[in-house]
Amino acid sequence: MKFRCERDVLDRAFSIARRAVSGRGGSLPVLSGLHLQLVGDKLTVTGSDLDLTIRVEATVGGGGDGSVVLSAQLGSDIVRAMDSGQIEFSVGDDGASLVAGRSDFSLRVMSADEYPRFEEPGGDSVTLDALVVAAALDQVVKAASVDDARPILTGVLMAAEEDGLRFVATDSYRLAVSDLPGTSILARDQTVLVPSRALDAVARVLGDASDLTILLGERDASFVIDDVQIVTRLIEGEFPNYRGLIPVDHPNSLMVDRLALLDAVRRVGILARDSTPVRLAMSSEGLELVAITQDVGQARETLDADYTGSDLTVAFNPEYLVDGLEASPGDEVRLETIDSLKPAILRSTGDDQFLYLLMPVRVS
C-alpha cells in the first residue's frame, strides 16, 4: 500500500474519522485505530466504535492498493505535526512509514483483516439543506444528556410534525425544540432517536456543505455530507413526553436584548462558583442579575428590559442559560415564567421555530 497527498488532505480525513474512535477499543483493540483502504487514487479512512462509524473519502496519488489499521491517536498527531506539503505514506513489513520533508516516522500497524466489516443502511434517502439542518442541530444537541446511565436522554428525537421535521433534546434540566417547516423525511407521526454524539459529528462536518443526505433504516441512520458518511445505530426506547413538560400559559414575560443578557450572564457568572446559580430579579423597573458565592464574593448587574407580570426572582444554572441564549436566533428574546420553581421558556421574538425550556434552581 502506497500513496502521496497533501498534509491537509490526510489531516482532515484523520481528524473527522477519529471522532468515532472511542480510544479504548474495548474487546476489539483494532477499534482504537483508523482503517485505511486504498483503491486506485481513492483513499477511504474509517473510524468506528461499532455504534458510530465515520468514513471519509479522499483523492490521493495512489502507488499501490491495500489496506491497513494504524493508531488513531498517533496517526492523527503525527500528520498534524508535519509541515504543510506532500506526505508519502507506505506500508511495508515493518509497519507504516510517513515521510514529509525532513520528517520520517515509522509506526506499528494492526491487521486490516481484524477490522469489522459494516453493512450499508437500508431504506429511502432524502436530501436536505445543510445550512438549515446545521442551525437546528446547533440549537438542540447541547441539551442532550451525556450520562450513559440514561441512554434515552443521550439521544435527539427526530419527529414528523404536520408542517415539517422537529428536533428535540433534553437532559431533564433543560429542553430544546427546533422545527424545520416544510422538511419531510419521516412518515406521519414517525419518530427516531439518534445519538447526540452522532449528530454532533454531523454538525461539525456540515460547515460549508450545501446538501445533507439522510438515510433512515430500522436500526440505523446514515448521514452523507460530500465525501463524509456518518453511520450510527439508533437508540431504542421511548423518549419522554416532552409536550407535557411545556407550560401552556405564563403570566410573566420579560423582553430583553439577547446579546446584552448573554454578556451580562457571562460576567455575573464569573462569581457563580461551585454550582451557584445566577438570580434574575424581574420587575417593572427592569432586570437585575445577581450571583453570590459564600467566602468568594458577589456580582450584580442591571439591564434595561420590558417586563409584564408580578415581581419575581428566579435562579438558573448560568451555563444552561448561556447555552439557550447562544442558540436563540434574533436580536431579542422573551423569557416566560410562572414562578420561581416551575419551568421557564426562552423564545426569540418573532421566531416560533425554536423553544428552550429551563428548570429553575431552588435557592433560599
Amino acid in the structure at residue 8? D
Same domain for 149 and 52, yes or no, is no
Distance, in Å, from the CA atom of 360 to the CA atom of 261, rounded to the nearest integer, reads 17
Q: What is the dihedral of CA 67, 73, 76, 81, to 10 degrees?
A: -140
Q: What is the pLDDT along the chain (364 residues), one digit of tens a residue?
A: 999 999 999 999 999 999 999 765 567 889 999 999 999 999 999 999 999 999 999 999 999 999 999 999 999 999 999 999 999 999 998 899 999 999 999 999 999 999 999 887 777 788 999 999 999 999 999 999 999 899 999 999 999 888 889 999 999 999 999 999 888 777 777 889 999 999 999 999 998 899 999 998 889 999 999 999 999 999 999 999 999 989 888 999 999 999 999 999 999 999 988 789 999 999 999 999 999 988 889 999 999 999 999 999 999 999 999 999 999 999 999 999 999 999 999 999 988 899 999 999 998 7
CA-to-CA distance for 352 and 252, rounded, in angstroms? 18
DSSP per-residue string spanning 170-188: E-SSEEEEEEEET---S-T
Same domain, 207 and 257: no
| Residue at 119 is within a domain | no
In 3D space, the residue among 1, 232, 231 whose CA is nearest the CA of residue 111 turns out to be 1
Question: Do 217 and 311 share a structural domain?
Answer: no
Looking at the fold, whether 110 and 142 belong to one and the same domain comes out as no
In sequence order, the β-bridge partners of residue 44 are 37, 57
Could you list the residue range(s) of the whole structural domain that residue 267 is in? 247-358
- Asked if residue 168 belongs to a domain, the reply is yes
pTM of the model: 0.89
Domain count, the chain: 3
